[in-house]
Amino acid sequence: MQGKVVIITGASSGIGLACAKEFAARGAYLSLAARSIDQLNILKEELKSKDHRVLVTQTDVGIEQECKNLVDQTINNFGKIDILVNNAGISMRALFKDTELSVLKKLMDVNFWGTVYCTKYALPYLVAQKGSVVGVSSIAGFIGLPGRSGYSASKFAMHGFLETIRTENLKTGLHVLIAAPGFTASNVRKSALTGSGTQQGETPRAEEKMMSAEEVARHIGNAIEKRKRTLVLTFLEGKFSVFLRKIWPSLVDKLAYSHLAKEPDSPFTLNN
């Protein structure tokens, strides 16, 4: 990644923050985006103290014009874009019947449309560099997870969009990676939305038992460098579940239901 210009959305925390540090260590020039400019500036100063080149732009990826501005600022500062990491995202935790439609729309605006907007405006520059478009997705993009209707829908939509972009660019040299980390230790569950749209605040899962964001970032970096199509992390909840879904989908439905029903304060139970 030496000398490559990388845009990372959702770079103020979690996987995005870990990717920023990992890619900087590999020699990349960074264009970092998030809604929290304060957190971005803290990260910028940390990276600049190590002589890394960093641009930060306050960006809500659910707003088209802000995504265009992010791309414009990157070109104005670096003159090119080699890699776009569509990482910004939000989750939810509630049964569909108890979820306000505005919550589903918000998830689609950020998780799906944020990917579409950023990719649309960055695409000409990425094609010129024969670069990479990355979508940081989830196992929820392969398997419909109960209690996560809006999240799964947005990730399934991301997959369909990115697979189409890949096929349309078979002759241009553009690389498209769909990365599905599985359950990762990050703040995405703390900021997950309830059915009413408020943040759940506390994670229902044992974060210390999950793969770290730093390890995920290393895998994503390696997959970009190797120009892989798909990256599915963790074995049981990731690779095995995606494989099993192809040959025994009804069993995966039951396993997903049982697994998520055991979460503390789950919106449904094994007896439902």
For the stretch 162-218, pLDDT in tens is 999 999 999 999 999 999 997 766 555 567 899 878 886 665 555 566 789 999 999
Q: Minimal CA–CA distance to 15: which of 115, 136, 106, 116?
A: 136
For residue 219, pLDDT over 80 is answered with yes
Judged by DSSP in three states, 120 sits in helix
Question: What residues are annotated to the active site?
Answer: 151
200/151: higher pLDDT: 151
**What does the pLDDT read at residue 123?**
98
Q: Minimal CA–CA distance to 6: which of 88, 81, 70, 89?
A: 81
Indicate if the alpha-carbon torsion angle 114, 115, 119, 120 is positive or negative. Answer: negative
Q: Can you state the angle between helices 14-25 and 213-225, rounded to 10 degrees?
A: 50
**What does the pLDDT read at residue 130?**
98
For the stretch 153-175, pLDDT in tens is 999 999 999 999 999 999 999 99
For residue 116, pLDDT over 60 is answered with yes
For residue 93, pLDDT over 80 is answered with yes
For residue 239, pLDDT over 90 is answered with no
Contacts of 19 (CB under 8 A, 6+ apart): 8, 11, 85, 87, 217, 220, 221
Contacts of 68 (CB under 8 A, 6+ apart): 117, 121
**What does the pLDDT read at residue 170?**
97
Amino acid at 75: I
* For range 40-51, the mean pLDDT: 97
Do 17 and 43 touch, CB atoms closer than 8 A? Answer: yes
Token reading at 253: 């439905």
| Distance separating alpha carbons of residues 167 and 137, to the nearest angstrom | 19
Strands 175-180 and 132-136: parallel
> 270 falls in which pLDDT band (50, 70, 90)?
low
Spacing of C-alpha 128 from chain mean position? 24
Domains of the chain plus CATH, in order, are 5-236 (3.40.50.720)
* For range 116-144, the mean pLDDT: 96
**What does the pLDDT read at residue 43?**
97
Do 155 and 140 touch, CB atoms closer than 8 A? Answer: yes
